[in-house]
Structure 1
Amino acid sequence: MPFPRFLALVGGLITALAIGPMLGAVALAADPTVVVRPGDTLTGISKRHGVPVTDLVQLNAISNPNRVYAGQTLRLGIAPTPATPAPTAAAPGAHVVGRGENLTTIARHYGVTVAAIVAANGISNPSRIFGGQQLIIPGSAPAPAPTTAPMPPAMAVAVSSRDAVRQVIVEEAARYGVPVPFALAVAWQESGWQQGVVSRAGAIGVMQLIPATAAWVGESMLGMPVNINDQRDNVRAGVRLLAHYLARYAGNRDLVLAAYYQGQTAADRHGVYNVSRPYIASILLLERLFGG
């Protein structure tokens, strides 16, 4: 979410794509939970239960990993078992996802592209894979990336059903000089192109803007108030913010998306947080799916 996302009360991103509401997220059965105690931090909970902080963030759609609150219930992601099971054997040309892995690290290990794994497995949400999931690895050597990655069928259906929202995003991207596939990717990541989405952090609409962000964009960039409950205003403010970040970071997609997700101040001072990397990787893949 855009600046100042980290000033919002703890909450989560919308929907399922950490990146948004893309289809096909898989729920874990018998998913254990823990209730946050006074003084707890994600790091402490991670050490206590043996679950990486990045897993806790993704499983619970936490937008600010430095802020959890007493009484909050967190999913741990891996159901307890009475004994350590034997490792699942992967079929030839397959990989069993380990805890804490993501598509980027798996692709790098096998020397293939994330897009190739997504296409081979029909993955509709590149940032949501789970421990024990078996993935087909399409080849051991990298191949030239296609200009446009194939879009999973379930996602294609959802995209076609939201064409009116897509058109608004296209128009506003053209207005502010933002590459259309990039704007489409951010909006899909954030809300699945749905104006009715509201996150636990109070982010609203297609571009998942919080009121403080909308007010800042309206005053400093648009010169007009922004009604984030209005679809056109919401998209316009979000796309204008992307244009601001593209100019500020000289087109560096990683920093642009880090600023949108972490906040501008955090991106300026600290660069890309590790927790932001799956979000960024997912949007860059989406950009290719949308023709970028």
Structure 2
Amino acid sequence: MPSSPSRRPRARHAAPAQHDAAALARGTARAVAVPAVIAAVATASAPGWTSYRVQPGETLSGIATRSGTSVDALVRANGLPAGGGYVRAGEVVQVPSGGPARRAATAPARPATHTVRAGDTLWGIARERGTTVGALVAANRLRSNTLQPGQVLRLGAGARAAAPAAAPASAAPRASGGPSHTVRAGDTLWSVARAHGTTVTALRRANGLGGDTIRPGQVLRLGAGGQAAPRQESATTFAGRTYPDDVVAAAARNRAALESAGVPSRDAVRDLIASTARSYGVDPALALAVSWQETGFQHDKVSVANAVGAMQVIPATGTWMSGVVGRDLDLLDPRDNATAGVALLRLLLSQARSEAEAVAGYYQGLTSVRERGMHADTELYVRNVLALKQRFS
């Protein structure tokens, strides 16, 4: 996500005078991401199965995990489209009897408080402890979302103990025969090529790739021209641009919050972005192309510039888009992140002279593009996004 601190349009960019705020506000309802908690409802069920109502922020994969079954089994039992998609809060789904309900009934007593750690957010704590942001705000009489390390929060009834930490992943195998790169979450062929001094075409040829899809853990051969390791940069620098310490620290806190809270799958994020784009009147193929170029649909991605989530929105732009859509947006929330990115795209498309200029504005900032022209990396970004749009169309 190479950019300068001014890469995103800031609030100084005036919105159109007759901006259709009502139309934008129709995008998505406020959704607070919370843990996989499903409330039982009294409806008829098949033998061995029972009905549960999906809570805000729940995903089908989360339901499957807590129910001791698979996504495919839930898809078949509920007549859902292949892959499951992004289930909606309030939907009633069939799950195996004795899953989350039985575990909840036999769970040990839960602690009544949570001590805030560095990087904690209300959203992350709510998700971790099986409660909601609204419940935390009410239980602690909070006037804002700001938390301080060491602060003790009352959790209220129904909250649960923190989940145990996941075991560290084993190291990925190395490719033989020359320098290689192990794909990390959010990597794209373009970002790998730039980091290692090679080209997308060379990477495709060296690895026999028929397209641009790569997966975390995959080992890519870099070819004869690739550098064995990218140029070392400081913790405040990315792609030759240095960011202030407070920005880097805020990015680290957001990254830790997303890692501890858990995020939807790539498929769920893709479905969420596409549905949000349709509701805002933005071509879903364009919104998907931007997100794939930015993060590969990885919502846990946070750049050193503190661009957050699947749509890589910085906090200043998030605040701006909150005003545009008429409600507060939490960039850590997958739905709000999609809303902020899609709303920004819609606004840029209404102000730019072409789709290419709008895409450049998303990356570099529209004022910067008009005053200075596209940077070399912006030109490559625009070409990639427009090519990806054709794939997603």
8 A Cα contact 1:16 1:23, kept in partner: no
Aligned mates of 1:3, 1:278 — CA distance in 2: 13
Paired letter, 2:284? V
Aligned mates of 2:377, 2:189 — CA distance in 1: 22
Return closer, same or farther for 1:234/1:256 CA change in 2, 3 Å cut-off. Answer: same
What residue is the counterpart of 1:216 in the other structure?
A: 320
What residue is the counterpart of 2:350 in the other structure?
A: 247
Aligned mates of 1:282, 1:171 — CA distance in 2: 22
What TM-score, normalized to structure 2? 0.38
Describe the superposition over 1:211-254 as per-residue Cα deviations: whole angstroms up to 9, x where unpaired.
111011112x112211101110000010010001111114x222
The answer to whether the aligner puts 1:267 opposite 2:355 as a matched pair is no
The answer to whether the aligner puts 1:277 opposite 2:379 as a matched pair is yes
Shift of 1:279: 1.1
Q: Which one of the candidate residues 325, 335, 339 is aligned to 1:236?
A: 339
Aligned mates of 1:260, 1:24 — CA distance in 2: 17
* TM alignment of 1:1-292, pairs within 5 A: 5-6=5-6, 21-22=187-188, 58-59=194-195, 77=196, 121-124=209-212, 132=224, 162-219=266-323, 221-250=324-353, 252-290=354-392, 292=393
Aligned mates of 2:325, 2:3 — CA distance in 1: 16
Return closer, same or farther for 1:197/1:237 CA change in 2, 3 Å cut-off. Answer: same
Paired letter, 2:277? A
8 A Cα contact 2:357 2:366, kept in partner: no
Shift of 1:207: 0.4
Shift of 1:268: 2.4
Paired letter, 2:274? V
Describe the superposition over 1:146-202 as per-residue Cα deviations: whole angstroms up to 9, x where unpaired.
xxxxxxxxxxxxxxx622111211111011111111111101111111211111111
Return closer, same or farther for 1:123/1:5 CA change in 2, 3 Å cut-off. Answer: farther
Aligned mates of 2:366, 2:3 — CA distance in 1: 6
Question: Which 5+ residue runs of structure 2 have no aligned equivalent?
Answer: 9-181, 215-219, 227-264
Paired letter, 2:325? L
Aligned mates of 1:129, 1:264 — CA distance in 2: 37
Shift of 1:25: 7.0
The structure 1 segments of at least 4 consecutive aligned residues displaced by more than 6 Å after TM superposition are: 1-4, 128-131
Aligned mates of 1:133, 1:253 — CA distance in 2: 34
Aligned mates of 1:270, 1:3 — CA distance in 2: 14
8 A Cα contact 1:255 1:271, kept in partner: no
Indicate the SS of the match to 1:266. Answer: helix
Return closer, same or farther for 1:248/1:130 CA change in 2, 3 Å cut-off. Answer: farther
Indicate the SS of the match to 1:124. Answer: coil
Indicate the SS of the match to 2:6. Answer: helix
Shift of 1:264: 2.0
Return closer, same or farther for 1:278/1:3 CA change in 2, 3 Å cut-off. Answer: closer
Return closer, same or farther for 1:24/1:267 CA change in 2, 3 Å cut-off. Answer: closer
Shift of 1:2: 11
8 A Cα contact 2:189 2:200, kept in partner: no
Aligned mates of 1:185, 1:7 — CA distance in 2: 18
Aligned mates of 1:129, 1:260 — CA distance in 2: 31
Indicate the SS of the match to 2:367. Answer: helix
8 A Cα contact 2:7 2:364, kept in partner: no
CA-atom RMSD in angstroms = 4.0
Aligned mates of 1:234, 1:179 — CA distance in 2: 17
Return closer, same or farther for 1:215/1:288 CA change in 2, 3 Å cut-off. Answer: same
Aligned mates of 2:275, 2:183 — CA distance in 1: 26
Aligned mates of 1:227, 1:191 — CA distance in 2: 18
Shift of 1:271: 2.9
Question: Which 5+ residue runs of structure 1 have no aligned equivalent?
Answer: 9-14, 27-54, 60-76, 79-98, 107-115, 135-160
